[in-house]
Every structure is written in C-alpha cells, then in structure tokens.
Structure 1
C-alpha cells in the first residue's frame, strides 16, 4: 500500500489532464514533482497551487529530445516512487508527421523510462502511461458498427499507414508510444522493478481545473465544445463521434492505477459512453437558456440513431470493475464544460 510518504512524478504537469491529477494527488496527501517546459510556466503553476509545500517542479524543455528526463531524474530520482507519464504532443498543424508527432511521442516515452532505469531503478515501483483510445482502434475503423473494442484491442495502423493524415498520425503516435512502454518493460525486466499500467481515454471533456487556463488555448477535445458554444443559428457542424470521458474521472483513474495493485500490467479503457456533436448541441440548447435561439440546433434528437450507424462499440467492463467508481454522464460533463466557458467569456 502506498503511504503518503510516496512521491509521485508527473510529466507534462501544466496540461489539461495533468493539472487535475496534480490537484487530486495533493488532496490525497502525496508529495508531487512535476515537469514543465519553462521556468515561467513552472512559476505560474506553483502560484496557482498556492506554493503548496508538497509540490515541486523540474524543467524538461522538450520531451522529444534525447535524454530529456535525465537531468530531472539524476537530481530527484532517489525520491520518486511513482511516475505518471502524461506529457505527449497533441497538435494537428503539421505535415511532417514523423518529426512532429510520431517520433516525439515515442522518444518522450523512451526517455522517461530510460531515466528511471539509469537513476531510479530501485525507487520507482509504479509507472502509469497516459495513452489513448487511439492506441486501441485506428480512426478509419471507428465507424465499423459491428466492431467491439476492448482493453486487448490495438490500432492496426503501421508506422507508414498512419502517416496518411495528421489525425491518423496522432492516433499512431499514441499506439507506438504505448507499445514502446510495454516493450521497454519486457526488455528491461531484470534492471527495473516497476509495474506498468496504461490509461486509454476517449475524447476527454470537462472543466479546466483553473478557469483562466481557457485564455491560453484549450485541449483538442474541449475545443469541439467551444466551437458549438460559439456556433451560429443554422450553422453546420462536423458531427464528431466516439467514446467520451470526463477529465475528473481520468484524473481519479490515474491515482487508482497505481494505488490498486490489481491494475498492474493492465490497460484501462476510459469511456463512459459514445457521444456525437449532435448530442452536445442538444444539451447546450436544453440546459442554457442564454444560448437557445442563438446557436446551431442541427437535427435535435438524432444523435443516438447516428451513433448506431456510424460507430463501433466499446466494452470496458474490465476497467470499470478495476476502478470501482461510476463515471460522470455526458449531460453533467457538457454542462460543466460549457458553464465554465461561458463564465470566462463573460469576464473578458
């Protein structure tokens, strides 16, 4: 059992998911060491957490650089018992998929595991890697209605085939980064003692931990909701669909992933249900009188029939049993996401 003397390292600590994880770890009494890309980002983050004495930070400028985590682990490795590797590149504004998405994701995972092996082989007992549903199923297969995706599934794209588009390359980057972690553990079993768990969330919605984060840009999934909140009457929207999960549940799962010994060696598929943008539009129109009549309506009520003919199925009963808590539903998740967006918008 982990005592509160346990120290947890969180890579990419300034990100959307990671901030919630930091908050949950600190509330649970853990000591936390986070990594951020610059002193400026680190100072801002420490201030947000009121300079909590249990939180300290190290600079890791570029997770894709060779030996990116060496300095941080050389300095702090002997203190670290748990590593949550959350940092990974997410952006689609690129045509050099290998350089900007695939290689950084793989190298970032490799370099943090190498740093553990070099400087913290005796102290780190648990590693949790934040992967994605994208590692389980290729984007092109998401719409196969008779396909069932579960914790054992793998995206069938190859390094070559996933370079067709930025979205395919992002999905591929999650697959190959996760494969890298499992392969590393297999190859280095005699020189490290940690167990590995991966967390594979679908589209992650939910409020930012700090509302003012919305002023600095937004994670890719929440960006979909922003567009709908700012849509126009009669406006068309792309009906994104897929599995969704609330960020607060993703955060909780990161803690259980290392606290519950039964999660060792497992992949946790985080999905409450399927969603499509039409359903989000319905929720926005039903729950926000200030938006009704000002934003798009699409075809109200057509969401579930759209999903029946456009989406594969996800079975994560193994994960739900291991985690042992109920995920937040879509309506609550979208209401909380949009309320925060509207609040911040009114302040600016």
Structure 2
C-alpha cells in the first residue's frame, strides 16, 4: 500500500531572525515543521543561525535586509516559490542615542511596519496572515507607570502618547514609536483592505533563556539589567524595577505560533501577552541567592522579601485573558523558573569566558 501523500510544510517569512525573541520563534517554528525564510542583516548572522540549527538546514532559507525602515525593504524577501503562507514580523529599528527622535526612532518604526504589509500586498498574494511582534507600551500609558493603581490594561486600551510628547526624549520616543507605528498599521489595513489579515501581539517586557547569544557583551538591554543583578555589577544595592509586567520569551514565541494557526475570526485583532504575576529585581536577587548559593556573595542583598515594593492594587497590571481564550496560550513559565534557566545561561557564558 502506497504511503499517504505528505502535506507540504507551511511556509513562513520570519523577519529580524537574529533577535532575542525571534531566535525563540525560529526554534519553535523549525521544531514544529515549518519551512522558514529568515531575514538577517549579514552573512555572519546567517552562518550563526545555520550553526545553531544545522539539523534543520533543509527547512531554512535566508534573505538579506539591511534596513527594515527603507521603502521596499522586504519587496524581494516576500517573493517565494511556492508562495509564503505567513509572515512573522519581529524586526524593528532602534537607536539608543538618537540625534533626532522623530527621524531616528518614530519614522523608521512606522515605515518598518508599513514596508512589510506593502511588500506582501504587492509581491506575496499567497500570504494569509502577518503576525506582528508589538509592544504593551502601545497599550499602557507609559508616562504614569507603575500606575494607574488597580488598572488592568487590555486590548481596547491605547497609550495616549502624542507625537509632541514622543519626541520630547529618547525613552518617550521609543514608547511613542510603538504606539504611533501600530496606529499607522491599523489605518493602512482599514484603508487598503488587503487579502491577508494581521495579528498584533502587544507584549510585556520579555525575559528568559538565551537561544542564540554567544557572549555576555551581546545581551540585550533587558537581559543586561538582570545580569547586572546576578553578577553584582549593579553595585551593593538592588536597582529599582522599572518594568514590572513581564513575560517569558518561550511563552512569547509560542504566542506567535498560536497566532499563525488561529482561525480566521482571530485575525485583525490585538492580544496582550503578559505573564500572570509581576516581577522585580529584588525578587530576582532573592531567588538567585537562594537557588544559587555559590554565587550569593556577589548578588546584592537589598531588602529581601519586599519584592516590587508596592502593595497589590497600587500598581497597574495587564489582562491576558484574551490571549488565553482566543489563542489558547498557556503561560507555562513563572518568574522563578525563568530566572533559574537564565542564570544557567549566564553561568555557562562566564565559564566560556564570553
């Protein structure tokens, strides 16, 4: 009896494939059997990915995109034969020290979103859905965090930031760019009515183990902050927590895969992606001192047991119920488990002299 015909693998374009979140998305896509075209900026980034996933080489393809904010940046990357089924757009331009917040952060963020939908509309008629790695900062009013007290932000909420406020300083420009770029995206969808739909995942601050980081120097900003606590390089005091709503990177990646597979009615919607509990640098120090006693001497003590330092109900949280109900996302990784896994990566990098 002949074998049943094998169903072709679904084909996905993953932008910004070398990024912290994208690396976990790539891993889960390959493990799930997807064919993936990964966009990278350089040949060295391509080789890094091939080295990590050599057993999946037949499922991997690459496209080079130097600047995601350039008009037409993805025009060639979206062309494929057979055609693409989905796009996961994680790539986002960011400058730590902008000369001009509007030209260096806000406008590139808007163009980065629009360039991928424009490319898909023009050159990828087979695409059914584009999933965007958005930010909770386009939902929450970042200017008044950790408040307002008792508020649980949800998908209907928008950061009220204006262009005038956004260009006032680099931090507000970053938060504002997330809001203004997402608004521009939804306006484009409403106007153009493309054949594909979109899903925007509004993601909290992301922490977790390192899928593709080879050196301590290449840690991203949020992970660098935690490493400063684990290594003690932050000094004798535990630094204050400026992002208490968080999510594990593995759950974040899983949300992207679930969004791809979700039924048609789940499209053209936003989803808040955040863990059930909050986080704090003080709790991280407490957990690491307890779970890794051999490193306790270097980890600052701070004020053990005080956690975030605010009583429940006095700070804002995030309502993640829609992601659970519609996407079926289960948040499998709690703060302590994440910290233990991340510390193991820190220790390995230190042992490697990296």
**TM norm structure 1:** 0.92
> Does the Cα contact within 8 Å between 1:137 and 1:154 map onto a contact in 2?
yes
Task: Quickly say closer, same or farther: Cα 1:304–1:227, change in 2 above 3 A.
Answer: closer
Shift of 1:254: 0.3
Query: Which residue is 1:285 aligned to?
Result: 289
- Out of 92, 108, 112, the position equivalent to 1:108 is 112
3-state secondary structure, aligned to 1:279: helix
Distance 1:118 1:131 in 2: 23
- Out of 256, 259, 281, the position equivalent to 1:257 is 259
Shift of 1:307: 5.6
Query: Which residue is 2:100 aligned to?
Result: 96
3-state secondary structure, aligned to 1:228: helix
Shift of 1:77: 7.3
Task: Quickly say closer, same or farther: Cα 1:340–1:307, change in 2 above 3 A.
Answer: farther
Q: Which has the higher helix share?
A: 1
Unaligned runs of 5+ in 1: none
3-state secondary structure, aligned to 1:164: coil
Query: Which residue is 1:162 aligned to?
Result: 166
Matches within 5 A, 1:70-149: 70-73=75-78, 75-76=79-80, 79-120=83-124, 122-144=125-147, 145-149=149-153
User: Bigger CA drift: 269-278 or 199-208?
Assistant: 269-278
Query: Which residue is 1:345 aligned to?
Result: 350
Shift of 1:18: 0.6
Shift of 1:33: 0.5
C-alpha RMSD over aligned residues? 1.9
Unaligned runs of 5+ in 2: 1-6
Task: Quickly say closer, same or farther: Cα 1:308–1:140, change in 2 above 3 A.
Answer: farther
Query: Which residue is 2:205 aligned to?
Result: 203
Distance 1:265 1:137 in 2: 20
Is 1:193 the equivalent of 2:195? Answer: yes
- Out of 340, 349, 352, the position equivalent to 1:335 is 340
Off by >6 Å, runs of 4+ in structure 1: none
Count of equivalent residues: 341
Matches within 5 A, 1:228-239: 228-231=229-232, 234-239=236-241
**TM norm structure 2:** 0.91
- Out of 178, 185, 204, the position equivalent to 2:182 is 178
> Does the Cα contact within 8 Å between 2:150 and 2:313 map onto a contact in 1?
no
